[in-house]
Chains A and B, each alone.
Chain A
Amino acid sequence: MNLLVLAAETENPLFPPIPELVIGLIAFVIVFGFLAKKLLPNINKVLDERREAIEGGIEKAEAAQTEAQSVLEQYKAQLAEARHEAARLRQEALEQGTALKEELRAEGQRQREEIIAAGHAQIAADRKAASQALRQDVGKLATDLAGKLVGESLEDHARQSRTIDRFLSELEEKAEAAR
């Protein structure tokens, strides 16, 4: 059959022959069937997996970063604490040192004053004892001398001066002995 005749018969390129409609439908259904039933679900699953993998990776990275941050903060805190502690210890040591020095100085002062006071007391006591002894000795000497002077009845001037000399030398001896 001549196709030109057929074209003239149908006269209309907009009039679809049934066999071509059927083949068109079959061809499309083949494509749709494969894509919709198998291939697109396949790729959708993988796309979801990929998204999850990416999101998981991001989450993991975020977690790691958070942890690193917290560890860093912890370290910083510890470092600050250590510094603080060191400063405190230094301060304390300084204070202790100062206190100790102060104490020692006070002690030294006290001891010095004690020693001085003791010296003064000793001196005073010595002087007192000396003056007491002196007074006693002078009194006794005076009495002795007077007794002797009176006992010798003052024979002569020469004797007198001998007696006095003797007395004085005795006195010197005593003083020697006392020393």
Chain B
Amino acid sequence: MSPDPTQVLAFETDCHIFEGCGFPGPGLHSFLFEPLWGEAGLTSVYFNKPMLLALLGSIIIVAFFWVAFGKPKVVPGKLQMVAESGYDFVRRGIVYETLGKKEGEKYVPFMVSLFFFVWILNVWSIVPVAQFPVTSIIAYPAILALLVYATWMSVTFKRHGFVGGLKNLTGYDKSLGGVLPLVMVIEFFSNVLVRPFTHAVRLFANMFAGHTLLLLFTIASWYLLNGIGIAYAGVSFVMVLVMTAFELFIQAVQAYVFVLLACSYLQGALAEHH
């Protein structure tokens, strides 16, 4: 079986610098996986590693919260305390902060799920063996952004009616006078069309870039391991460690930002139009 370049790990090439082979740099192909089952395609049915990781992620989150909150106690145990602080972070730190306690309470479960789901999909990036951030595949951020979009869009029209909802989306404000049509077009474009796209891509691109960097340095550490290259391989490996720590930080930040944005969109939808 001839090696498929997408399936070859850096260590499997067994080719180092000065041995007459080029640098097998990471690229788009690093984000494509041969299906574990079925045949890859835009609409065909198949099952691959990111899907497995996504489902495993869900199971891990549910299992964690099941153990922590399944039989909660008034005087909490250690695990319950940890889970509570995570729950409280999203509830108070994000939802109540943006939507307020009264309006926000309804959306707490959605936002908590969103936060922990995105987080674990990000964290897969540095979990040994998995080592792939699921959110670096656009489909996962896209479907979540779509859910958020559907939520705040429906809230907009439910809260303000059809005309009121449109006014809300277009930033209708009579005092703007002549520029009003222009503002309305821009606002509509930015809110209705661009917003879900940027929401998804922000998360996707961050994780994509992070994973590419990690791959780059990991592959380089291996590839440079020959002759004088060994010194550079050491530097590269240090960068792997640094980037791993940095990614750990970015993963949490991006999950936070994703949920925070979802909340701020909802806040805009709930806001009374003046």
> Which secondary structure characterizes the binding site on chain A?
helix
Q: Among B45, B68, B143, which residue has its beta carbon within 8 angstroms of that of A25? A: B143
Q: Is the CB of A39 within 8 A of B6?
A: no
Q: Is the CB of B29 within 8 A of A28?
A: no
Say yes or no for B165: interface residue by CB 8 A criterion: no
Q: How many residues of B contact A (CB 8 A)?
A: 59
Q: Is the CB of B143 within 8 A of A19?
A: no
Q: Is the CB of A40 within 8 A of B59?
A: no
Q: How many residues of A contact B (CB 8 A)?
A: 38
Which residues in window 135-179 of B have CB below 8 A to A? 137-140, 142-144, 147
Q: Which B residue sits closest to A41, measured CB to CB? A: B109
Q: Which residues of B contact A69 (CB under 8 A)?
A: none
Q: Among B28, B57, B87, B140, which residue has its beta carbon within 8 angstroms of that of A20? A: B140
Q: Is the CB of A18 within 8 A of B113?
A: no
- Residues 35-79 of chain A, each 1 if its beta carbon lies under 8 Å from chain B, else 0: 110011011011101100100000000000000000000000000
- How many angstroms from the CA of A31 to the CA of B116 in the assembled complex? 9
- How many angstroms from the CA of A35 to the CA of B117 in the assembled complex? 11
- How many angstroms from the CA of A34 to the CA of B113 in the assembled complex? 9
Using a Cβ cutoff of 8 Å, how many contacts connect chains A and B? Answer: 141
Would you give the shortest CB distance from A3 to chain B, in whole angstroms?
4
Say yes or no for A30: interface residue by CB 8 A criterion: yes
Q: Is the CB of B32 within 8 A of A23?
A: no
Q: Is the CB of B6 within 8 A of A3?
A: yes
On B, residues with C-beta under 8 Å from A are 4-6, 28-29, 31-34, 39-47, 50-51, 54-55, 57-59, 61-62, 65-66, 68-70, 72-75, 80, 83-84, 87, 108-110, 112-114, 116-117, 137-140, 142-144, 147, 201, 204, 208
- How many angstroms from the CA of A43 to the CA of B5 in the assembled complex? 49
Q: Is the CB of A28 within 8 A of B147?
A: yes
Q: Which residues of A contact B144 (CB under 8 A)?
A: 24, 28
Q: Which residues of A contact B147 (CB under 8 A)?
A: 25, 28
